[in-house]
């Protein structure tokens, strides 16, 4: 019989009253969400509601902005800046649901809607942002900011907004604004098509195994999941996909080398098949449009625009960091390659190590070197235990509690919801979690919000609605969802983003988070995941309830540096490729993106046995947000390792340090300069030594 969880948490399930009747003929996207905590009416929203809701919401937003821009009074912070933050409430509501559905409720019909709506949203945003009256009023406020007795948050946002106006083209002459609007609309359509193609590629590929002998080496959970997938598709045998919970166990444990190659090749060639879902032309056009846009705005390249308002400040500093880490980690990668080739030779394999072999022989070597394989560890990482583990860590650090609630409208039936309370019992946030892959859901893991912390124009506090979305191993038969080490790390990572949103003290929906700072709250949480003290809190065997034994904890810790070169080099390769793409200074109509990738990877010395973590045709990160910004994970690694040292200097659950981190980083993120936040927490600027030490690299 499974033992009770060791940490006492407020995890009882109770029902909140979220029932709300929408008046006939009132679009639920536009209706008042006057249920408790203003949760979107997911249970009443249909596809047909989006187009009329967008039309009406954009109409309202234009009218609200027209009142602001036609005001004959002298521009002030209140009647211009603050007023613009409160404008567009209806549009923000519609967008929060629209973007949610674009990740977790995708269908051919919704994709068609996206193709229709995306350019309209781009045009709407440009029409408002590039209206000369808007920039003129903002400029007056900015140049007279000392008159308005602004607080620190208001000053920071005003300066950020003003510089953002300039970067977005507000200072351009009208003829160039028209060109910019066209570029933005085209980019919007192309990036959307790129992402849709990737999803289609993922859903299209199926590795069907009909001979049971070809399953040799695979864990039972992987085999069962493949059987269930086959049955769901009325296929005889077993089905494996390039969704990571299916693919990673296959390439790590399946003895059949040819099948490992087939599935891995499908993964690394997503969008690169010269068919209807091919992305080579899309990304070429996107890169060229970004060059054109940079030139129009007076920048040398797209990377210069994107890094200007980040901690890095310019792409040269990004290269400096990445090259230092690349040079330090590359020798380790070559050592790992040699060790894997030795393992192949020892096994009697008469072949040279190839990319599809890396995972398989890494696991064999891990087993030999540390007497550890994932099948030993997964039983202790049942998803619900890990979930309660992250909640327990947050409770010990910050005093907050999580209680599951029922009756809350959710975007998909697999979503669970938790009320988050402060130590004094007051409400802090609602936290939504959607954990498993499906055809209607894009891959990867992310955190977002339906509502950010803010105060409405009447001074009422609006509490956050935060969501974590992941694609973790599903339950199979009578076996619950058992997570891999990587999935556990990802769960802690996304939860860190969630805490960042929950603890926010932003006054407005407007924020300006430095994109290379945004991963600090998530990456620091990963440090707690495998601490022996923390493992003892949540890692219990799903069948026996046995707490993870000390011997296994020691093996996990001893193997923590194993394969570290591979893990880091593929990330650094992707970050370098991203920046290199966006350092283009001239349009190239003949650009062949796969040749570009191959030549640059050869130039920097990436060994042929490893691919960049994301290749050009499925690099979703750089389709918005992380363009010229994938380095943010690495930049934040400097910060998170240095920040976690602050806990190591006291204790990993030191509440005084946690309070410093919450008050100076999580609460202020997006409303204060990133370096100022960090110094307020740490008492100094970040140092790289902790990161280098974690990688076993000596500082030069």
Q: Can you say whether the dihedral through the CA atoms of 421, 422, 428, 429 is positive or negative?
A: negative
Tokens of 397: 């650090």
DSSP 619-681: -GGGGTTSTTTTTHHHHHHHHHHHHHHHHHTS-TT-HHHHHHHIIIIITTTTSS-HHHHHHHH
SS3 state at 279: coil
Q: What share of the chain is helix, strand, coil (3-state, %, to 5)?
A: 55, 5, 35
Q: Which two tokens stand for residue 360?
A: 């398989």
Contact 481, 507 (CB under 8 A): no
Instruction: Enter the tokens of residue 92.
Output: 């923000």
What is the token pair recorded at 183? 């570029």
Q: Are 666 and 501 in contact (CB under 8 A)?
A: no
Q: Which two tokens stand for residue 653?
A: 């659950």
Chain CA centroid to CA 608, Å: 28
Give how far Cα 402 sits from Cα of 10, 184, 235, 449, 641, Å.
6, 42, 41, 17, 27
Per-residue DSSP letters for 540-606? B-TTT-PBPPHHHHHHHHHTTTTTHHHHHHHHHHHHHHHHHHTT--S--TT--HHHHHHHHHHHHT-
Tally of CA atoms within 13 A in the half-sphere of 29 that contains its CB: 27
Q: Which tokens in the block code for residue 537? A: 């809190």
CA pair distance 548, 535, nearest whole angstrom: 7
Cβ proximity of 418 and 395 under 8 Å: no
Paired sense of beta strands 416-421 and 401-406, if any = antiparallel
Query: By the 8 A CB rule, do 435 and 481 touch?
Result: yes
Would you call 494 a catalytic residue per the annotation? Answer: yes
- Phi, psi for 605 (deg, rounded to 5): 90, 25
3-state secondary structure of 390: helix
Q: Concatenated DSSP letters for 176-190?
A: HHHHHHHHHHHHHHH
**Sign of the Cα pseudo-torsion (667, 668, 671, 675, in order):** negative
Q: How many CB atoms are closer than 10 A to CB 678?
A: 21
Report which of 488, 500, 493 is spatially closest to residue 464, judged by C-alpha positions. 500
Catalytic residue of the set 395, 494, 519, 526: 494
Active site residues: 494
């Amino acid at each position: 019989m499974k033992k009770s969880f060791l940490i006492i948490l407020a995890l009882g399930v109770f029902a909140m009253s979220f029932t709300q009747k929408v008046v006939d003929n009132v679009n639920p996207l536009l209706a008042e969400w006057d249920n408790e905590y203003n949760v979107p009416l997911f249970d009443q929203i249909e596809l047909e509601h989006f187009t009329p809701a967008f039309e009406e919401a954009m109409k309202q937003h234009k009218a609200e902005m027209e009142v602001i821009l036609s005001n004959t009074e002298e521009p002030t912070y209140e009647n211009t800046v603050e007023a613009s933050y409160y404008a567009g409430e209806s549009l923000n509501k519609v967008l929060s649901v629209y973007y949610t559905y674009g990740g977790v409720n995708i269908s051919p019909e919704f994709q068609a809607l996206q193709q229709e709506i995306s350019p309209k949203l781009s045009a709407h945003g440009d029409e408002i942002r590039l209206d000369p009256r808007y920039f003129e009023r903002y400029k007056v406020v900015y140049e007279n900011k000392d008159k308005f007795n602004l607080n620190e948050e208001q000053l920071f946002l005003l300066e950020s907004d003003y510089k953002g106006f300039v970067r977005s083209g507000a200072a351009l002459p009208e003829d160039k604004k028209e060109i910019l609007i066209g570029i933005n609309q085209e980019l919007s359509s192309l990036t959307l098509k790129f992402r849709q193609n990737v999803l289609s590629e993922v859903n299209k590929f199926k590795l069907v195994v009909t001979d049971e002998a070809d399953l040799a080496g695979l864990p039972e959970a992987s085999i069962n999941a493949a059987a269930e997938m086959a049955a769901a598709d009325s296929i005889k045998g077993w089905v494996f996909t390039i969704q990571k919970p299916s693919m990673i166990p296959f390439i790590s444990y399946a003895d059949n080398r040819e099948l490992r190659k087939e599935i891995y090749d499908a993964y690394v060639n997503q969008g690169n098949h010269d068919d209807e879902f091919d992305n080579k032309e899309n990304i070429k056009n996107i890169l060229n449009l970004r060059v054109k846009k940079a030139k129009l705005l007076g920048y040398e390249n797209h990377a210069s625009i994107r890094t200007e308002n980040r901690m890095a400040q310019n792409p040269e500093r990004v290269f400096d960091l990445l090259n230092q880490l690349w040079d330090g980690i590359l020798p380790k990668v070559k050592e790992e390659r040699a060790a894997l080739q030795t393992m192949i030779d020892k096994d009697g394999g008469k072949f040279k190590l190839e990319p599809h072999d890396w995972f398989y022989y890494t696991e064999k070597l891990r087993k030999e070197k540390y007497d550890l394989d994932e099948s030993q560890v997964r039983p202790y990482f049942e998803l619900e235990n890990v979930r309660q583990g992250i909640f327990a860590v947050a409770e010990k650090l910050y005093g907050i509690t999580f209680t599951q609630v029922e009756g809350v409208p959710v975007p998909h039936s697999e979503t669970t919801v938790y009320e988050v309370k402060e130590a004094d019992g007051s409400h802090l946030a609602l936290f939504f979690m959607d954990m498993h892959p499906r055809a209607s859901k894009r891959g990867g893991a992310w955190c977002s919000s339906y509502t950010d912390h803010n105060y409405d124009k009447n001074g009422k506090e609006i509490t956050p609605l935060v969501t974590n979305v992941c694609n973790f191993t599903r339950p199979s038969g009578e076996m619950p969802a058992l997570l891999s080490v990587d999935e556990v790390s990802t769960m802690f990572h996304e939860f860190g983003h969630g805490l960042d949103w929950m603890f926010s003290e932003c006054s407005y929906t407007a924020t300006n988070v430095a994109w290379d700072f945004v991963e600090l709250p998530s990456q620091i949480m990963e440090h707690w995941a495998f601490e022996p003290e923390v493992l003892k809190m949540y890692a219990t065997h799903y069948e026996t309830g046995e707490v993870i034994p000390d011997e296994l904890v020691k093996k996990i810790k001893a193997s923590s540096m194993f394969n570290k070169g591979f893990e880091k080099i593929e990330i650094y390769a992707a970050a370098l490729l991203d920046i290199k793409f966006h350092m283009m200074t001239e349009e190239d109509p003949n650009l062949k993106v796969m040749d570009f990738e191959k030549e640059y990877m050869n130039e920097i010395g990436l060994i042929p046995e490893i691919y960049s973590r994301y290749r050009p045709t499925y690099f979703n990160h750089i389709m918005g947000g992380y363009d010229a910004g994938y380095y943010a994970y690495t930049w934040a690694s400097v910060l998170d390792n240095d920040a976690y040292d602050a806990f190591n200097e006291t204790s990993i659950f030191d509440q005084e340090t946690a309070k410093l981190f919450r008050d100076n980083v999580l609460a202020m993120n997006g409303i204060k300069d990133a370096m100022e936040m960090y110094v307020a927490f740490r008492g100094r600027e970040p140092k790289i030594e902790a990161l280098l030490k974690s990688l076993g690299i000596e500082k030069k």
